[in-house]
Chains A and B, each alone.
Chain A
Amino acid sequence: MIIPLPVFVAVPLVTAFFLPLLGDKRRFGATILANIATGVLLVAAIATIGQSGVYQVGKWPIPLGINLVMDGLSGLVILAVSVVGFAAMLFSAGYMERYTAKPKYLSLFLLMVAGMNGVVLSGDMFNLFVFLEVASIASYALVGFGCEHEELEASFKYMVLGSVASMFILFGIGLVYGNTGSLNMAYASRSIAETGLTRGLVFALGLFVAGFGLKAALIPFHAWLPDAHSSAPAPISAMLSGVLIKTLGVYAITRVVFNVFGISIQLGWVLLVLGVLSMVAGGFLAIGQADIKRLMAYSSISQLGYVVMGIGLGGLIIAQGGSTAWASLAILGGLFHLINHAVYKSLLFLTSGSVEISTGTRQMDRMGGLGKVLPITRATCTIASASIAGVPPFSGFWSKLILVIAAVGAGYIWLGAIIVFVAVLTLIMYLKVQRYVFLGELPENLSGVEERRGSMTCAMVVLAYLCVLMGLLLLVPDLKAAVLDPAVDVLVNGISYSSRIISMP
């Protein structure tokens, strides 16, 4: 079945438009409608696995019109967005009942999803910027949705830093247009390949790395993330950490760097160093946290570091003319870690939401022994923690294994050492969560706590099963060939992207 590509943007966008019209009285209907929308997206994303194609908006041929491009990389990210979006929306149905203006929340949620899908699909730089802003603005509003002290503060800081990043990106897009005369990625890339990198393009590249790096929360551009991700409502934290920083940050950076500008040694090193810095510093920052969501937020920085490090390493090997096998292994590790992280980090944030809604606090030192009263939360959180810590046979183990193998195989032994060291840091921080939240003595004031069953636990269980089964994406050759390999090929083939898109009907 061929799904027309605009579906991914249009469905959430249209639903988002109608939801606030329903008003707070009909919140049940709104919830159902929003869940149907994310369900449709999930089905569409699964149906498009392995598909690739170009859609020309309004039948205007490129480079005159705007095009939407679906290839391996887009398909992979769309899949992650849809899965996490579906689960987070399901979780929201129960979790957001305590907030007023739930339909508005649902509307913003879908707007964010539409923005993310747009970013991933657009084959045009300015279009990418527009969708990026749609998703960003929706996320600023969602972070501040609670309208309490901390939410507003986080929202403002996030917004200032995010706007600065957007300006960097827009400035970069202007420079690209000025230097190549095209905004279409394929044509811009062809032009860059012909003329080589001029001074303006180098400047643009720097702006892109910084701008998208800020959206991806790479250190040193990360400062907004722990505030924003810990203050947002739990399902939004799951969306932000699970997919937003990946689509707006990592996806965009890799698309621009690999497919438009083409990778070079320095670029590979910059990505590698940014990734390693994020991994290590994020890990240490997370260990010292007492707030469960803040800990998870910092660990997102650390885990995203893995992704960027893997992709940067792959790029570096390609640029140095090394073996393509190692390069694709490193990129495979990075991308596989990307989707793994999308699943287990969103699950972790959902469990933190379940804990928070039951206990009314996020401070881990005020909890303890919740494993007895929140059995499903405990079980799912344990699975997600095992995944993120890289315990076999859960998903995180495989991606870290591949990254280590690629790093050591390509001769970067120190990098392998850092990878396993950060894996230990990750293990320790999630053991801390387990110990302070689920093990130990139950405090007196929490003895009456009960688990909220229903849509919340349902969403968590779905993601937990995915955590367990995700390893199959790598281990079953057919699945790997359908989902991961095309994405890896897109990056390994680099700037041949342009000729592929231009030659497509």
Chain B
Amino acid sequence: MLYAMCFFLFVIGLYCALVKKNMVKIVIGIMIMEYAVDLFLIMLGYRAGGVAPIVGKDEFDAVSGMVKSSFINASVDPLPQALVLTAIVISLGSLSLMISICIRTYEKYGTFDITEIRRLKG
């Protein structure tokens, strides 16, 4: 069900990018898609009642020197969190570039309406 919500959010973002004429709104739509995917990734690693995967001193097994398996089973999956962090950084980069291009385009064309920015066609 929660996954379906993510998908729903993704579709909302896609719809926004598809239907809105304002360039900034298109960018917002893309960002909504981005967050939907981020949310999806986070939820992949979610485990009901899990603890944060931060390994303290207590969590090591005294004998083998490895992390206790009970801790591993109880904690949420840390990998998606790392992925999401990376994805957010990337999306930040592309968002800033997109917005700056939007601004420069507005300076040139004097409009944010994407249907009027169509010198390139054919």
Contacts and interface: CB of A to CB of B under 8 A. Distances in A.
Classify A-B as touching or not with yes or no (CB < 8 A): yes
Nearest to A140: B97
Interface string A423-450: 0000000000000000000000000000
A56 B122 CA distance: 47
Interface in A155-169: 155-157, 159-160, 163-164, 166-167
B102 interface: yes
Contacts of B41: 170, 174, 177
Interface residues of B, number: 36
Interface stretch (B47-55, B65-73, B104-112): B104-112
Given A149-B109, A164-B14, A156 B102 contact: yes
A153 B120 contact: yes
Report which residue of A130, A152, A164, A294 has the largest number of chain B beta carbons within 10 angstroms of its beta carbon: A152
B98 interface: yes
B76 interface: no
Contacts of A170: 37, 41, 87
A159 B101 contact: yes
Contacts of B101: 140, 144, 152, 155-156, 159
Label chain B's interface by main secondary structure.
helix
Contacts of B26: 160
Among A133, A160, A167: residue with most chain B CB under 10 A: A167
Interface string A171-185: 100100110000100
A227 B90 contact: no
Contacts of A130: 86, 90
B59 interface: no
A153 B119 contact: yes
A221 interface: no
Contacts of B87: 170
B74 interface: no
Contacts of A178: 44
A451 B86 CA distance: 47
In this complex, which of B37, B41, B101 has the most chain A Cβ atoms within 10 angstroms of its Cβ? B101
A194 interface: no
B37 A174 contact: yes
A289 interface: yes
A126 interface: yes
Contact of A167 (B37, B98, B114, B122): B37
Contact of B104 (A133, A147, A164, A227): A147
A356 to B, nearest CB: 16
A178 B118 CA distance: 41
B102 A126 contact: no
Contacts of A136: 94
A289 B121 CA distance: 11
A116 interface: no
A24 interface: no
Interface string B1-29: 00000000010011001000001001100
A170 B37 CA distance: 7
A231 B120 contact: yes
12 contacts: A137-B93, A140-B97, A140-B101, A159-B97, A159-B101, A163-B33, A164-B30, A170-B41, A171-B10, A174-B80, A177-B79, A177-B80
Given A164-B17, A288-B122, 17 more contacts: A133-B93, A136-B94, A140-B97, A141-B97, A149-B109, A152-B101, A153-B117, A153-B120, A156-B102, A156-B105, A156-B114, A160-B27, A163-B33, A164-B30, A170-B37, A226-B120, A231-B120
Interface of B: 10, 13-14, 17, 23, 26-27, 30, 33-34, 37, 40-41, 44, 79-80, 83, 86-87, 90, 93-94, 97-98, 101-102, 104-105, 108-109, 114, 117-120, 122
